[in-house]
Amino acid sequence: MKTILTITCVLGGVILALISGAAQANASQTRPITIGVLENAKFAFAPMMKGSFNLALEKINARGGINGRAIKLVFANDGGNKKMGIQAVKKLVNTDKVVMLVGGYSSSNTLYMAQTAERLDIPFLVCTAADDRVTQRKKINIFRLNPPAAEYTRGLEELLTQKIKPASMAIVYENSPYGTGGAMQMMWFCRENDIELKAIIPYHKERAGSEYFKRLLQPLKINVPDAIYMVSYMKDAVALVRQIRAEKIRSFLCGGAGGFTHPDFIRLAGPASQHLLTATLWTDDQQDDLARQYAESYRVKFNQKPDYHGAEAYSALLVAADALKRSKSLRPRHIRQALEKVDIKTPFGKVVFKTHGKYDRQNSQATLVLQVVGNQYRCVWPEKVSVAELFLPPK
């Protein structure tokens, strides 16, 4: 009798274990898939990027999520510095149990976040940080949607050589990895094209303001260049162009993307922004249905036009979803393999990760040029996609 009872108990335990295991398996198949988003909440583009991530999330989940499982986003503020960035990555991976990371805004701390992601063996799709080194360190978990800093100004460089043809230039830039990388690229461009560099002026972004810029710009009043190239985020970009015009420096102004493309830049800079050229990675002026659809859905929801930072965030989540749908499992190795085979069209453009030059797992993107006309940006280069006539400075 005891033997029968023992067997019955054992069988009952096995059945309960099987039922429990099956229930857990079913629960795991319906549980949301969590993706970590690294953001820098204090930057001007943070609300646009967060709104765009959430807009993409709504679209993906409305279409069935990842093979029937919804995506959940967990945002972590990297604070734009090394310590907070590393802590944000560790929290997302160890506490929130994310399957991959997207985001990365500031170049300086994205390098450290990439190192941390590599050590923790978690795939990280960078969508904004431009420092060339992000995809030059042979890290198998790091993929990048946006071009590196060295490629940001290709369209602007073509326009300068083919249409504007300045004989001289000054470069003003913030002394961050992003600013320095952009400035170095333009220095090489000037030297290769026999454009005289009349001044190279780095500035401390912590001190940026009208009085500070007034002092830095004094040499340009004496030795006026044909063009001034600037690499800045939005607050500095506004203060810089306003001060240049207040000093009556009549140079043609060119921005290296960043703050010069923000929807609020024209409003805040006012008349000083007129006819300024800026490199950009994207614009809704393009004759592309996906780009226009994203821009319209963003405008309807947030009552504002997005710029390339929003398109990057929106498209990055689409790319992540595409990879997760095709991944054999949610293990890092399988997600990496799926990311390596990404080949899709997004509002930001076609996304394919390749090794080219010194870069690994790097997407390539043609760069455009916008010009401020009235109270809006218009695409003026390349000519095949331009929608407005280029205003040339008087000789």
Each domain of the chain, given as residue ranges in start order, spans 31-148+287-362, 153-280+368-385
Q: Does residue 9 register a pLDDT over 60?
A: no
Q: Does residue 267 register a pLDDT over 50?
A: yes
Q: Does residue 198 register a pLDDT over 60?
A: yes
Q: What is the pLDDT of residues 321-337, one digit of tens each?
A: 999 999 999 999 999 99
Which of 3.40.50.300, 3.20.20.70, 3.40.50.2300, 1.10.1040.10 is the CATH number of 31-148+287-362? Answer: 3.40.50.2300
**Rounded mean pLDDT, 285-307:** 92
Q: What is the pLDDT of residues 103-139, one digit of tens each?
A: 999 888 999 999 999 999 999 999 999 999 999 999 9
Instruction: Please report, in angstroms and rounded to a whole number, the separation of the first and last CA atoms in the chain.
Output: 108
Q: What is the pLDDT of residue 177?
A: 85
* Burial class of residue 222, CB neighbours in 10 A (0-12, 13-18, 19+): exposed
Same fold, 31-148+287-362 and 153-280+368-385: yes
Rounded to whole angstroms, the Cα distance separating 207 from 232 reads 13
Q: Does residue 6 register a pLDDT over 90?
A: no
Q: Does residue 7 register a pLDDT over 60?
A: no
Q: What is the dihedral of CA 100, 106, 108, 113, to 10 degrees?
A: -10
**Rounded mean pLDDT, 211-231:** 96
Alpha helices of the chain — where are they, by DSSP H? 2-30, 46-62, 82-90, 107-120, 154-159, 177-192, 210-222, 234-246, 265-269, 289-302, 308-326, 332-340
CB distance 35 to 102 below 8 Å: yes
Q: What is the pLDDT of residue 23?
A: 44
Q: What is the pLDDT of residues 55-97, one digit of tens each?
A: 999 999 999 999 999 999 999 999 999 999 999 999 999 999 9
Q: Which two tokens stand for residue 11?
A: 């069988």
**CATH superfamily of domain region 153-280+368-385:** Response regulator (3.40.50.2300)
**Rounded mean pLDDT, 341-355:** 97
